[in-house]
Chains A and B, each alone.
Chain A
């Protein structure tokens, strides 16, 4: 193979790897059921939601999270609610938030507990009834103490 051809093709191969979208996490069936329950018949799609959480959690007792939703937050088009579910804590519910056009920005931050390495999902419900999700997978090294 000529050197120039080799360089051109290998550069192309590298680019295609780099530009590949981040592989979406295959959502656990536990979470899918919960999301569909919350959607109550509304269309559920992936996207528009950004679930910010450290991928490697040192201490499961207090994990900062932030959920931002891509929405203009006007009377005509806004987020009405955000709900967070986890896969493996004793309870699947984490928290639910109610937002309004008064919020100005569709964003909420808090701190949560994680009892195991698991998946989490943030669901945003729009005023038109559609739901958008972002699923993340986190590795927990010290779990939130279920014991004493």
Chain B
């Protein structure tokens, strides 16, 4: 399991636009580099990131049933430990479900609760 760092405000006012920051630990090996022995280092990238929003207090188990908030496709030109910052209009309390998928079966899923008053 890779380490992640996600910053989301704990509470938001209805209609407020919040900033979501998400970082995941990953080398993002490009596949263009050689090791010190001269062998090509195989490509190992995170390919996709998605963030869904599931309305309701106990929605964390409800997989990716919610609405797509934001998605990203990465290529080799994205720096190691991919960092993303994007925005979200909070309208109701719920859970943000963030998923990273990549080469070598990389899969990481994180959930963050958001309380809207």
A: which residues have CB within 8 A of B? 61-63, 66, 73, 86, 89-91, 93-105, 107-114, 145-148
Contact = CB atoms under 8 A, between A and B. Distances in A.
Contacts, number: 106
B33 A146 contact: yes
Contacts of A63: 79
B45 to A, nearest CB: 11
A90 B76 contact: yes
Contacts of B86: 97, 99, 103, 107-109
A63 B77 CA distance: 10
A148 B88 CA distance: 39
Interface size bracket, B side = 20 to 34
A118 B24 CA distance: 28
Contacts of A114: 77
Nearest to A108: B86
Contacts of B75: 91, 93-95
7 contacts: A62-B80, A94-B78, A95-B73, A103-B88, A103-B89, A109-B85, A110-B84
B78 A100 contact: no
A60 to B, nearest CB: 9
Contact of B69 (A100, A107, A145): A100
A91 B30 CA distance: 10
Contacts of B18: 104
A102 B85 contact: no
A145 to B, nearest CB: 7
